[in-house]
Amino acid sequence: MKNITLESELKIGSEVSAALDSGTPVIALESNVIAHGLPFPQNLETLVQMENAIRSAGAVPATIAVLDGKILVGLEASQIHYFATTPGLAKVSSRDLPIVLATKESAVTTVAASLVAAELAGIKFFASAGLGGVHRAAGSTFDISSDLIQIARSNVIAVTAGVKKILDIGLTLEFLETHCIPCVTYQFDDFPAFYVRSSGFKSPCRMDSLLEISEAIDIHRTIGKGGFIVAAPIDEVDAIDEAVVEAAIVDASAQATRENVYGKGLTKFVMRSVNKATAGKSDAANAAVLISNARLAAELAVIHSARATNPSLTSIDRRIT
């Protein structure tokens, strides 16, 4: 029997490891959205742009995946290429991780599994397009993404464009409140809905300054537990028409029910079908929010780490905003 340690299961890439040692902010990224959320080559191009946006803002990207039974934190270019081009890679969420590690498989990680890996590696910030949430029809299917449970457990800040519009956003917001997960929107009154700027639901709390968000994060770390959601809407130019996308989602969800698609495969099925119905607009929007969230997460992480060494930054910011 091999000796199982954290070091035997988790491999941190050299750039990420150096950044963590030197205190350079690191942003964790998931791989499921790359392997299953977008087609090749758009997926590869998007991940490269996300990593570039993070570097330009002064942080280091750490894309997470599972290769031959090891969790990788910080993929190299050849590994990114492998995960973006290999068909049929398993989608793993938190509960699947011990199984794919034991069976030595390669797999891509959801938000939930990536949060687990990020926390184990000591990474404080994570970015993606949208968290999983409470699915429409969850009242009868009980389909609630484990992304929500995991964000409640992991001490990681998740920067996203809210949750996918294919979900029941009202119920998702209730779930976040029930599970005591702080949730703020950045410079926007409503909770965003991924492809479109507003979900039609008010944000639990709007904050306009990254310094102030950074302070709230530290206070949460001091008096609370678990994750923290920062939601920012898609840029106006990238947003798609609400009525068009909503009609496509209703059709896709009905088709999924007819074809008995449920569980792990449902998110991908609905997203692929919405993309077809919107003639590629939803994938373009997905790519755009992935990049803008990666950038925002890096900006927040850089400010957060600057505050740690220079507490007077707070008062400067308060004068500006």
Full DSSP string of 55-90:
HHTT-EEEEEEEETTEEEES--HHHHHHHHH-TTPE
The option from Mn ion, ligand PSU, none interacting with 36 (CB < 5 to 8 A, set by class) reads ligand PSU
Compute the least distance from the CB of residue 201 to ligand PSU, in Å. Answer: 18
User: In whole angstroms, how far apart are CA 100 and each of 63, 67, 96?
Assistant: 18, 9, 6
One-letter amino acid for residue 106 of the chain: S
- Report the residue closest to Mn ion, judged by CB: 143
Residues 30, 51, 215, 299: which is the catalytic one?
A: 30
Q: How far apart are CA 100 and CA 2, in angstroms?
A: 16
Residue numbers 246-265 binding ligand PSU by CB under 6 A: 264
Residue numbers 189-248 binding ligand PSU by CB under 6 A: none
Instruction: Identify the residue among 27, 29, 33, 80 touching ligand PSU (CB under 6 A).
Output: 33
Using CB under 6 A as the criterion, what x/- string covers residues 133-162 for binding ligand PSU? ------------xxx---------------
The yes or no reply on residue 36 touching ligand PSU (CB under 6 A) is: yes
CB neighbours (10 Å) of residue 185? 23
Question: In the block, which residue shows the tokens 């970015």?
Answer: 127
Compute the least distance from the CB of residue 194 to ligand PSU, in Å. Answer: 6
The yes or no reply on residue 238 touching Mn ion (CB under 5 A) is: no
Is 164 catalytic? The answer is yes
Residues 91, 124, 164, 165: which is the catalytic one?
A: 164
Question: In the block, which residue shows the tokens 């973006």?
Answer: 84
Q: Are 131 and 229 in contact (CB under 8 A)?
A: yes
The option from Mn ion, ligand PSU, none interacting with 147 (CB < 5 to 8 A, set by class) reads ligand PSU
* Residue closer to Mn ion, measured from CB, 147 or 190: 147
The yes or no reply on residue 74 touching ligand PSU (CB under 6 A) is: no
Q: How far apart are CA 263 and CA 260, in angstroms?
A: 10
First to last CA, the chain: 59
The option from ligand PSU, Mn ion, none interacting with 238 (CB < 5 to 8 A, set by class) reads none
User: In whole angstroms, how far apart are CA 166 and each of 10, 134, 162?
Assistant: 33, 10, 12
User: In whole angstroms, how far apart are CA 84 and each of 39, 65, 245, 264?
Assistant: 8, 11, 26, 19
Instruction: Identify the residue among 63, 94, 106, 110 touching ligand PSU (CB under 6 A).
Output: 110
Using CB under 5 A as the criterion, what x/- string covers residues 139-158 for binding Mn ion? ----x---------------
Cite the active site residues: 30, 164
Can you give the binding site for ligand PSU, defined by CB under 6 A?
A: 30, 32-33, 36-37, 93, 110-111, 129-130, 132, 145-147, 164, 264, 267, 286
